[in-house]
Amino acid sequence: MSRHLSGAACGRGALGWAVGGACALALALTGLTASGGGKPAPASPPAKKQLAWNLTSKAFRNNGRIPVKHTGDGRDVSPELSWTAPAAGTVQLALICDDPDAPAGTWTHWVLYGLPADRRSVPEGVPRTEVLPKLGGARQGRNSWGAIGYRGPSPPRGPVHHYHFRLYALNARLTLRPRADRAAVEKAMKGHIVGRTELIGLYSR
């Protein structure tokens, strides 16, 4: 209708001017109605950016050399680890440390699970016990030696090995008992991981 008025009636004499004015008014009113009364639609609030989740240690930097005291050549105590706040909805945390460069294939050095979501660190020298009351009742599983808790790097002489400390944020509680092996922990975590961060340490002999 607006196309017909603007092409035929809106340009002929006084009547054309009158009709043209009505045409313009109708188009303006139509535009106001379509845009919600002439008020611009409110802008959507910017999406909140998820900050990176970081895992660090006072003992070594990422891709730095692990000090001897945290290895089989020294006191063999676990390093201090700290992390920033995990993703929203995190209920528990779990930690796995392994060496993918081991001659026999990936070698697991530490399995720790059931850490409370509000923890932001574990101290140096975590005891090699099944349950850790000072860490909110967290539990430890078996490493590739079949022992409980952390055992540090002890690679054969040769190229450098990479030790991956991986921290997982979970949206569900793991009901596993202590002494679970890595495979059992990974199976229980499946479908519940909402975040993962990693710290890599190097060691060679």
Distance CA 89, CA 194 (A): 8
> Which SS3 state, helix, strand or coil, does residue 50 take?
coil
Radius of gyration of the chain (CA): 32
Distance CA 28, CA 18 (A): 15
> Which SS3 state, helix, strand or coil, does residue 143 take?
coil
Q: Are 65 and 163 in contact (CB under 8 A)?
A: no
Tokens of 46: 């910017």
Topology (CATH level 3) of domain 55-203 = Phosphatidylethanolamine-binding Protein (3.90.280)
Which pLDDT tens digits describe the chain residue by residue (205 residues)? Answer: 434 433 333 444 443 434 344 434 343 434 433 444 455 555 555 545 556 899 999 999 999 999 999 999 999 999 999 999 999 999 999 999 999 999 999 999 999 999 999 999 999 999 999 999 999 999 999 999 999 999 999 999 999 999 999 999 999 999 999 999 999 999 999 999 999 999 999 999 9
For the chain, the domains span 2-34, 55-203
pLDDT for the residue 8: 39
Q: Could you tell me the pTM of the whole model?
A: 0.76
